Amino acid sequence: MKASKNTVVGFHYRLTDKDGELIEDSRSGARSPLILLGRSQVVPGVEAALEGHEPGDNFEVEVAPEQAYGEHREGMIQRVPKKYFHNAKQLKPGMTTVLSLREGGQQAVTVNKIGMSTVDVDVNHPMAGKTLKFAIEVTEVREATPEELAHGHAHPAKPDPA
């Protein structure tokens, strides 16, 4: 069947920047995405590109920043106490790292400057402002279960009992 809103879609992707530099490859990660299409689980440009494809399809899509992680905005530098970083000693300018938020949760940031007890970070998403190229292979398309539709996400198949 073809991918459409509210179907479950599994796929592999290889993500490069516009110069062809590799950013992520789902085949080298722990698992490839399994999403409920239409629920914003991937960037809008990828979600739109998946529609109409079926298992076995391979295609490439170039996604502009506004259809990915947004434009890079100026004035997004924030000064954060070092204690909010789990790896404060290893930080270097230009590195991306993860900041633990006071409300819980985490945010990817880019280190701008390191002080004695604080770190200046750019809170733009590290991929903001980038045009991204995805090479996608669709591996699975199926009807969502009522439970998946109610939860708003896909449920991976349970491993076969050994």
Residues of this chain that bind Zn ion (CB under 5 A): 151
Q: State in angstroms the smallest separation of the CB of 148 from Zn ion.
A: 7
Q: State in angstroms the smallest separation of the CB of 11 from Zn ion.
A: 19
* CB closer to Zn ion, 86 vs 151: 151
Report yes or no: 120 and 113 within 8 Å, Cβ to Cβ. yes
Q: State in angstroms the smallest separation of the CB of 6 from Zn ion.
A: 14
CB under 8 A, 24+ apart: contacts of 47-53: 49/134, 49/136, 50/3, 50/9, 50/11, 50/136, 50/138, 51/2, 51/3, 51/4, 51/5, 52/2, 52/3, 52/4, 53/2, 53/3, 53/136, 53/138, 53/141
Report yes or no: 15 and 128 within 8 Å, Cβ to Cβ. no
Q: State in angstroms the smallest separation of the CB of 147 from Zn ion.
A: 7
* CB closer to Zn ion, 27 vs 151: 151
Q: State in angstroms the smallest separation of the CB of 157 from Zn ion.
A: 13
In degrees, to the nearest 5, what angle opens at C-alpha 88 toward C-alphas 87 and 94?
Answer: 95
Residue 124 carries which DSSP code?
S
* CB closer to Zn ion, 3 vs 34: 34
Q: Which residue, judged by CB position, is nearest to Zn ion in the bound state?
A: 151
* CB closer to Zn ion, 60 vs 143: 143
* CB closer to Zn ion, 93 vs 152: 152
